Amino acid sequence: MITLQLCAGPEIMLNDPADVCIDGVDMSFTATPVGGTFTTTAPAGFTSNGAAGTAMLDVSAAGVGTYDVVYSFTDAGGCEGSRTVSVTIFPEPAVTLNDPADVCIDGADMSFTATPAGGVFTTTAPAGFTANNAAGTATLDVSAAGAGTYDVTYTFTDANGCDASQTVSVTVFPLPVLDCPMDRTFCLTTAPFPLDLATPSGGTYSGPGVAAGIFSPLVAGPGTHTITYTYTDGNGCENSCVFNITILKVDCGSFPWDGN
């Protein structure tokens, strides 16, 4: 006589964790009865403890994709059952943000463009920043922001709840600080002399009677003349200061050009 034993199969329970982003928390699995075996289609990052009925999926190690996790159990009667859940690891959205050139404080405002549109701009600039998040654009008014180095960050969250951001660092350079000499008075007959007392040195003098950094009282003629000193620093930022030279009509000899 042949006796057939029919297996109803053990009742298997296996939780189905929520799908996560690639930078999210690892997935935890719990199954009953304990003492079974876990398997998965994930290529890496899966560790299991069948005796305890637990397993863990390291989402960053597994990578983006949809994977099956299977828990199988065989009872004392040799009857086998299994349960399968499918989990998805979503990628981060691809975010771009342009990095405008650094500018001087009197330069053009900085423009920012980011993709995908619909994210959020933030900045460390204290003032002058306006953003159109829906369009993915922003502007930094450099004169309002003031001199300094500032971060601009764009963060985007996609339909899966995954977010990513890009940050650029921009600098608003101050204008160079100049010091022009005091106003002076000379006679018409004073010999031409170099203009070299403005600081920092290395700039350019311009005005009546000035040629190649030399001032000629005779060429300028009698009267008060405004002389401009223009200097450009290593960042390409330019500033200027002015002083006056008065030329007397009389022949009174020459005064030393000492800036006092």
Instruction: Tell me the per-residue pLDDT of 93-119, one tens digit each, with 9 for 90 and over.
Output: 999 999 999 999 999 999 999 999 999
User: Looking at residue 5, what is its pLDDT?
Assistant: 54
Q: Residue 251: its pLDDT value, please?
A: 66
> For residue 160, what is the DSSP state?
T
Work out how many domains the chain is built from and give that number.
Answer: 3
pLDDT at residue 26 tops 80: yes
pTM of the model: 0.82
Shared-domain flag, residues 152 and 192: no
Kindly state whether residues 103 and 166 are assigned to the same domain.
Answer: yes
The pLDDT of 232-249, averaged and rounded, is 97
> What is the pLDDT of the chain when averaged over all its residues?
94
Q: What is the pLDDT of residues 70-82, one digit of tens each?
A: 999 999 889 999 9
The structure tokens listed for 55 are 């397993």
DSSP 179: B
- Asked if the model's pLDDT at residue 153 lies above 60, the reply is yes
Q: Is the pLDDT of residue 194 over 90?
A: yes
Q: Which residues, 6 or more positions from 70, have their beta carbon under 8 angstroms from its beta carbon?
A: 38, 39, 40, 82, 83, 84
Range of the domain at 222: 184-248
Parallel/antiparallel/unpaired status of strands 129-132 and 65-74: unpaired
Three-state DSSP class for 146?
coil
Q: Is 8 part of any domain?
A: no
